[in-house]
């Protein structure tokens, strides 16, 4: 079993730096990531949100059913701000702004973005030059749809590196990282940053200020 790394401890919750490739749910090869962490810590744990299997980064995990209910309520009210980092090849058709539209299930588990806005996925983003042919993106999803960020970047002509499902450049890992969680809980304010993965184009990112937000 892989050794898992916590980036924040609290009496009511942990924040795990989830490795890319770690599944939320058990498969034929390994247990789900929350089960793995529970075994490592010898403690009963409760998931309150999820990350796609290929996505790395900050995963909030409750330590009791009571805190799980309270934290799940924050997610339901969109009171937890999630900031992601992604890297993509090519030139997007816009470099910052809002990506908004309904999402529908396409073939073979893929999703696609529509122009309609009955129940839209909403993503705010900024992008910056990384090196010739590549940009990095700071993404703030205001909703939590399946594959939302991956589909959002594909929709502006910049599928994420390693995301071959959506036409991204081939890489060993998906270059999508849940970088920060910001929220208020039990009278305290938290802004917790998950260290970047040590692989691929993430190693070429400039030093980023963890106190910055996508509102800059």
The catalytic residue positions are 52
CB-CB contact of 113 with 176 (8 Å): no
C-alpha to C-alpha distance for 212 and 23, rounded to whole angstroms: 29
- Count of CB atoms situated within 10 Å of the CB of 178: 25
Contacts 24+ apart (CB under 8 A), 185-188: 185/12, 185/13, 185/70, 185/71, 185/74, 186/12
CB-CB contact of 92 with 48 (8 Å): no
C-alpha to C-alpha distance for 47 and 34, rounded to whole angstroms: 7
């Amino acid at each position: 079993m892989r050794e898992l790394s916590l980036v924040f401890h609290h009496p009511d919750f942990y924040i795990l730096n989830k490795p890319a490739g770690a599944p939320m749910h058990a498969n034929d090869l390994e247990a789900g990531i929350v089960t793995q962490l529970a075994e490592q810590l010898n403690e009963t744990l409760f998931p309150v949100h999820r990350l796609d299997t290929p996505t790395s980064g900050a995963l909030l995990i409750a330590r009791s059913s009571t805190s799980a209910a309270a934290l799940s309520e924050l997610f339901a009210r969109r009171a937890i701000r999630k900031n992601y980092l992604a890297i993509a090849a090519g030139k997007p058709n816009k470099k910052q702004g809002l990506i908004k539209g309904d999402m529908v299930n396409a073939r073979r588990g893929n999703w696609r973005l529509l122009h309609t806005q009955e129940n839209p996925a909403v993503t705010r983003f900024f992008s910056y030059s990384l090196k010739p042919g590549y940009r990095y993106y700071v993404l703030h999803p205001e909703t939590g749809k399946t594959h939302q960020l991956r589909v959002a970047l594909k929709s502006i002509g910049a599928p994420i590196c390693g995301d071959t499902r959506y036409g991204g450049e081939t890489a060993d890992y998906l270059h999508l990282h849940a970088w920060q969680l910001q929220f208020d809980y039990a009278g305290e304010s938290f802004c917790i940053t998950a260290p970047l993965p040590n692989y691929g184009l993430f190693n070429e990112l400039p030093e980023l200020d963890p106190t910055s937000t996508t509102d800059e």
